[in-house]
Amino acid sequence: MVSICNTCQNLQRPSKAPDGATHEPFRWLKTTLPALRRSATAGCRGCALVLQGILLHHDRLVGVNEDAVRIAAESFTAVSGKQVQDHLSLELRWTASEDDCGEVSDDDHHHHEHELTYPDLKLEFYTDQDGQSPFPAIGRGRRISDNFFQDGGLERAKAIIETCVSHHSKCQRRTPPSLPRRVLDVHHHDGSNSIKLYETATCANGRFSESGNYITLSHCWGIGQNILRTTTSNLKAHQNSIPWSSLPKTFQEAVAITRALGLRYLWVDALCIVQDDAIEYAEQSLQMAEIYSNSFLTVAATSSPDSTYGCILPKKQPFKVQATDSKGSLYKIYVREQPSHYSFKGQFNEDDHMNDWVIPFNCSDEANRETPLLKRAWAFQERLLSPRVLHFTWSEMILECREAIQCECGRVDDPIYDPRTTDTIKREFADFTEHRVPELLAAKDSSDAMEGVVHQLANAGLEDSIPSSTPSKEEAIQLWSYVVTEYSSRNLTFDRDRLLAIAGVAKQFAPVLGGYIAGQWTSSTLNLLWYPSNPSICRRPHPSSTPVPSWSWAAIEGSSIEFDNSTAMDLGCRAIFPANSDRNTSSPEAWSPTSGQAIELSAAMLTEVVLKIDDESNFTLMKHNVGVEFTPDVGVPRGDDALASGDTLVCVLASMTWRSSIIGLVLKATKLQPQAYRRVGRFECYECEQEGQTDDSESQDAEALLTLWFPEIEDMTQLDEGPLTTISVV
């Protein structure tokens, strides 16, 4: 009789799910690496297989104390008819958590709670499609293509795109879109691989009259990469022919993918915009909303740091391990590191309390290293606007669309396999734009014939239900603020693009939020209460021909920007924006997405204060011997932001929050413009202290600041009815 290993249970799958079980993983082992070694040495075949699989990934264990490595293995039991994957999942952890005492205890193998953190290394053991295995715990694995053009990669891409086109109403188009001003015609014209730049026809009103389906490319240009681009000097030549050999690898593979999917046109920013024509560059940059939202698919070189890498990257091949059954028969078991889904998964779980959420979503070193495109600001806009994005990563293809996210391994959005929350900002943005313009859903004809794979994916109808509700301004401003927080955490090569690279997204919010000037909505004064999450690393943008006003969040570089848009009590502060517009429109709303002038700030609680800076560079705002701490917007205030102890500043109290704090702006008089001020910071007061107060004295809460700084105001509920002070903020 075969003895049962206390460590791995011989990796023998139970014949049926435990009574009352749902889709919970079945825990096979919970041990340490030294204990696993001892069991394998003692002759357990299951432990020996698991140990061998771990040691094949020894490069991941360099410098790790073996005694600290904790191991857990689980598989997934089909319950209630739900299909589950048959691989054995192995999790290794060695990074200590705050609550970890370093102990590994026995666990009921039929009850499992996911660890609070994602494992340091996650492996999967699986068989090929014949399913032959000496261990019932190890079954067939999901196939991940090695190459898009071979090994089933193209067919897999077509399948997941077809799922989107056939079943996702938000991702469908009823009529073929207009082509952008220029596209790359990728059809073979002279028997070679060369392509050409095609200029689309225009109507008398200047609009582009040609329609058709096209693919867009999202990619990292790379620092110092002199990639091929269209300029005024080679525009005519590119319209005649662009030799294949002149294209960087990323462009070549984007062309090949477009051809393989049966489409004729491809849009690449470097080639379809004349790069040394400043006027065209600005005009076309402001057309990104139309260019990307009208594309059939965006091909994203998500793991490529520059255009020399290509879209399709070589994948690390799984290890093959020989295993034997009790009779000595040989079997082949595969071991590979499970796709971690990089930036698409958060650093917190779906059911975590909101206080544990980490925003921006996932800026871990690994995510930034493995998916550099997702760290780029321009690419963030392209990702939001596109109906669907096919990401090419080091580990697999991932299709992200307006309704779902799919991957080759099938686990990216399934909490059974990964409880971490999935990035849903693209879907939230799509929900907003769908409900914002319900008339777009009225047309239900989707019978357009499409070429190649598009032909396979067409003829899908809309759902009968049309959204009846439109988002409120409050909901829209909250989503916008979240978008800016994510966007501002990403990198730009040129400071001048700070507002330009989000203008396409802003255009989608305009029907609900109205006027938009230099990153701010004219309908929201509270949106001016932005603040950098880490002011110590912030700076002002480099000077440009269109300087950003100090009141705009785009006036700060180096840190993600956060907002306070909800208020428990309005303190009578209002902003009046200039009614300028830099576009031809019949709308009375202001639209100036990349520049702005002075705003008029009217407030019931506006006062001069004296700045005090102590020896440790702590900043305090003083009035009537009552002080409030504040942090400047930039780490080292210099130039127009320079601050010195004894300076007279202006504080504008704007809102009392649900946190029982008071928020306001800190302004400094400008040197060149009389009676004009510029923003130098924001303060949030939780408590205030009187000068000379001892450490044993109790501080007063934030609400006391209202009476200590403004004793003349007797009725806080009538602030709008009382006198207001108005100043100009540049």
pLDDT of 464 over the 50 cut = no
Q: What band does 97 get if pLDDT is binned at 50, 70 and 90?
A: low
pLDDT of 533 over the 70 cut = yes
- Identify whether the C-beta of residue 527 lies closer than 8 Å to the C-beta of residue 481: yes
* Mean pLDDT in residue range 340-363: 71
* Mean pLDDT in residue range 416-436: 88
450-479 b/e with 16+ CB inside 10 Å = b? bebbbebbbebebeeeeeeeebeeeebbeb
The strand pairing partners of 728, in sequence order, are 600, 676
Measure CA of the first residue to CA of the last residue in the chain; give whole Å: 85
**What's the pLDDT at 205?**
61
Q: What percent of the chain has pLDDT over 90?
A: 64
**What's the pLDDT at 325?**
86
Q: What percent of the chain has pLDDT over 70?
A: 85
- The answer to whether the peptide bond before residue 18 is cis (omega within 30 degrees of 0) is no
**What's the pLDDT at 587?**
46
pLDDT of 678 over the 80 cut = yes
pLDDT, greater one: 108 or 424:
424
* Mean pLDDT in residue range 276-291: 93
pLDDT-wise least confident of 392-396, 459-463, 513-517: 459-463
Please report the DSSP string for 216-255 in residue order.
EEE----TT-------TTTHHHHHH-B-GGGS-HHHHHHH
Q: Tens digits of per-residue pLDDT, 619-631?
A: 999 999 999 999 9
Q: What band does 453 get if pLDDT is binned at 50, 70 and 90?
A: very low
Rounded CA separation 363/348 (Å): 12
pLDDT of 608 over the 60 cut = yes
Q: How many Å is the maximal CA-CA distance in the chain?
A: 95
pLDDT-wise least confident of 238-252, 477-491, 647-661, 714-728: 714-728
pLDDT of 566 over the 50 cut = yes
* Mean pLDDT in residue range 434-453: 43
Phi, psi of 33 (to 5 degrees): -65, -40
pLDDT-wise least confident of 131-135, 231-235, 609-613: 131-135
**What's the pLDDT at 351?**
62
**What's the pLDDT at 357?**
60
3-state helix, strand, coil in the chain (%, to 5): 25, 25, 50
Q: Tens digits of per-residue pLDDT, 483-521?
A: 999 999 999 999 999 999 999 999 999 999 999 999 999
Q: Tens digits of per-residue pLDDT, 106-145?
A: 444 333 444 567 899 999 999 988 778 999 899 999 989 9
678-704 b/e with 16+ CB inside 10 Å = b? bbbbbbbbebbbeeeeeeeeeebebbb
Q: What band does 458 get if pLDDT is binned at 50, 70 and 90?
A: very low
Rounded CA separation 727/730 (Å): 10
**What's the pLDDT at 699?**
78
pLDDT of 1 over the 60 cut = no
Q: Tens digits of per-residue pLDDT, 552-563?
A: 999 999 999 999
Query: How high is the mean pLDDT of the chain?
Result: 86
pLDDT, greater one: 22 or 336:
336
- Identify whether the C-beta of residue 424 lies closer than 8 Å to the C-beta of residue 362: no
Q: Tens digits of per-residue pLDDT, 15-72?
A: 454 444 445 678 889 999 999 999 999 999 999 999 999 999 999 999 999 999 999 9
**What's the pLDDT at 81?**
56
* Mean pLDDT in residue range 545-550: 86
pLDDT of 617 over the 90 cut = no
**What's the pLDDT at 65?**
95
Q: What band does 202 get if pLDDT is binned at 50, 70 and 90?
A: confident
pLDDT of 578 over the 90 cut = no
CA 233 to each of CA 122, 173, 198, 239, 542: distance values in angstroms, whole numbers, following the listed order: 52, 37, 16, 12, 29
- Identify whether the C-beta of residue 326 lies closer than 8 Å to the C-beta of residue 243: no
